[in-house]
Structure 1
Amino acid sequence: MSARRFSQRAWDQRFQAAVARAFATVPYYREMWAEAGAPLEEPVVTPVARLDAVLDRLYPLARPYERQREEPGWTGEPGELMEALKLTGDYRGEPLFEVRRALLDWERIGRARYHVVLGADAEVADPELRAAGVRAFHAAREPALLGDPAQIAALPAHPGRARVFLRRSLTDLGTRDSRHGEVVHDPRLGYLGGRYRTCGHVHLNWRRVHARQSPSGPLLTLLRRRRPTLAGISVPGTAHLGVQHCPEHGTPILREVAS
């Protein structure tokens, strides 16, 4: 990992550009100006729990959300997942099996094959779907496995060598399992970064995510995602997290701070 390409000034400028685009093109953010009666420099904070209620208004006017034709906008992109895995320093491009509650039509992340294993908490009409995913995982020679700690524990152990990655929420970053790689995930914001194995810090994927400090915790803006556009999002239970720079790598991290 290198900080040579990271610039705090450029990062903040990308945030400002994303916010300007949101105010100019996305109904939800345009309404903030109307309610304020004046232009705003930053969006009003939106709690992540409110995103479902305003989903239709988070899409650009030129490409509105078509509820009857599209899945909800929280799936994210394969590149977000790949980059989060790389931020752990442990992912080597193995075929990835992700434990999820629903199937996903991705086939690859980067050059690696991508598969879904339906977890024990997934609601399926045909139990064979879950069994087929587990069989495929066991048949893979040296796979990578990603899921919540409880999901991983519920799966039968791989008979050979599997590289395990744990999915951590923003409220669970104080817990670390040094045996496995860890990626940071939010159900609405997607994959946000990973804990790098050598320094132990939780690194934000700064090319895709901007974070600024607030009394309630980091406010997150997705710099590349347009549909939906997510800017100035707060996550409950993160007031203990600060946006800092890794002393080893110089790039943005999320770290517990003294109250």
Structure 2
Amino acid sequence: MAGSGFSERAWDQAYRAAVAQAFGTVPYYREMWAEAGARREDPAPTPVTRLEEVLAALYPLGAPYERRREEPGWIGEPAELLEALRLTGAYRGERPLFEVRRALLDWRRVGRARYHVVLSADAEAADPETRAAGLRALRAAREPALLGDPGQLAELPDHPGGARLLVRLPLTDPAVSEHGAHEHGAHEHGAHGQEVHGQEVHGQEVHGHVVHDGHLGYLGGRDRGCGRVHVNWRRVHVRQTPAGPLFTLLRRRRPTLVGISVPGTAHLAVERCARHGTPVLAAREAVAA
């Protein structure tokens, strides 16, 4: 991560450009000026829980939402996942990547690596063979990387011991703000109430952690060296407010997501990593101290 080229000024300029684009071309944000009766410097925070309700208004006027032709608005791009994984220092793209999900995804590659979906135990599959096929491919793969929530990984039957386990943490997970938790063997509680002990999930070593939100997508990863959760600053801007952080996706336009608040993250703050000089998420108390 050394020599990342991060600049606080350039990061804020990218945010300002995203705000200008939103106010200029996206109905949802244009309406904020109309409601305020004046120009706004920043959009009003939008709770992530409201995004489904206003989805159609989040698409630019020049490329409007077309329900019958659209993929789900929250899929994101393979590059977002790859960059989050690279931030961990545990994945370089040389291994086939299997992601545990509740639905299939029409991706073929993430970077140079082949990409596969393994349906989770709670996924609704019309044909049971679909889930079985994903598990067979996982068992047959040579040195695969396997990504999922702690509970999803624990529920998979017969996954190979040689798989490199990568854990997907929700943005609201308390472990996101813990500094160096994995270096010191602290206990964490992941999704579905499953316990993550240091660097193991149910007895198997965990090689990396990425941070994810169901609507915002992959936001960053925990660096194995410094133990801090680094924001993928090339794609994500985080603006600190008294109520908590607001997230802006700098490159995503359909839908446009600017100034999004996530319930359960009021304890988080953004600061600079002393080792790498790039943005990290930390506990607000730690920043204030």
TM bin, normalised by shorter chain, reads: over 0.9
Distance 1:118 1:185 in 2: 18
Map Cα deviations across residues 76-133 of structure 1 (whole Å, 9 max, x no partner).
0000000000000000311000000000000001111000000101001111100110
Relative to structure 1, the CA distance from residue 3 to residue 256 in structure 2 (aligned partners, 3 Å threshold; closer, same or farther) is farther
Distance (whole Å) between structure 2 residues aligned to residue 156 and residue 130 of structure 1: 11
Aligned to 1:225: 252
Normalization by structure 2: what TM-score?
Answer: 0.87
Q: 1:81 touches 1:191 (CA, 8 Å); kept in 2?
A: yes
Q: Which residue of 2 aligns with 1:64?
A: 64
Any idea what SS the aligned residue of 2:162 has? Answer: coil
CA distance in 2, matches of 1:53, 1:14: 27
Contact 1:19 1:42 (C-alpha < 8 Å) held by counterparts: yes
Q: Which residue of 2 aligns with 1:131?
A: 132
Distance 1:159 1:12 in 2: 44
Counterpart AA for 2:28 = Y
Task: Using the TM superposition, give the Cα deviation of residue 69 of structure 1 relative to its aligned residue in structure 2, in angstroms.
Answer: 1.0
| Percentage of matched positions with identical amino acids | 70
Deviations 1:35-62 (A, max 9, x none): 0001111000000000000000000000
For residue 104 of structure 1, give the secondary structure of its aligned residue in structure 2.
coil
Amino acid at match of 2:35: E
**What SS does structure 2 have at the residue aligned with 1:171?**
coil
- After superposition, the CA RMSD in angstroms is 1.2
8 Å CA contact 1:3, 1:251 repeated in 2 = no
The equivalent residue for 2:145 is 144
Q: How far did residue 215 of structure 1 move?
A: 2.0
Contact 2:135–2:159 (8 Å) recurs in 1: no
Q: Note if 1:247 corresponds to 2:274.
A: yes
Residue 79 of structure 2 is matched in structure 1 by 79
| Counterpart residue type for residue 25 of structure 2 | T
Please give the residue correspondences for 1:1-259 in structure 2 after superposition, counting only pairs within 5 Å: 1-93=1-93, 94-174=95-175, 175=188, 177-178=198-199, 179-180=205-206, 181-258=208-285
Whole-angstrom distance in 1 between the partners of 2:267 and 2:150: 22
Deviation at 1:3, TM superposition (A): 4.5
Answer yes or no: is the 8 Å Cα contact 1:216–1:239 preserved in 2.
Answer: yes
Q: Which runs of 5+ in 1 are unaligned?
A: none
Structure 2 unpaired stretches of 5+:
176-187, 189-195, 200-204
Alpha carbons 1:141, 1:160 under 8 Å: kept: no
Q: 1:4-40, CA deviations, whole angstroms, 9 ceiling, x for partnerless residues?
A: 4000000000000000000000000000000000111
Deviates more, 1:202-211 or 1:167-176: 167-176
Quote the Cα distance in structure 1 between the aligned partners of 2:174 and 2:107: 27
Q: Shift of residue 173 of structure 1?
A: 4.1
The alignment's TM-score, normalised by the length of structure 1, stands at 0.97
Q: Given residue 87 of structure 2, which amino acid in structure 1 is its aligned partner?
A: L
What SS does the aligned partner of 2:276 have?
coil
Q: CA deviation at 1:217?
A: 1.5
Q: Please report how far the alpha carbon of residue 171 of structure 1 lies from its aligned counterpart in structure 2 after TM superposition.
A: 1.0
**Cα 1:87–1:4 shift into 2, 3 Å:** closer
Letter in 2 for 1:44: A
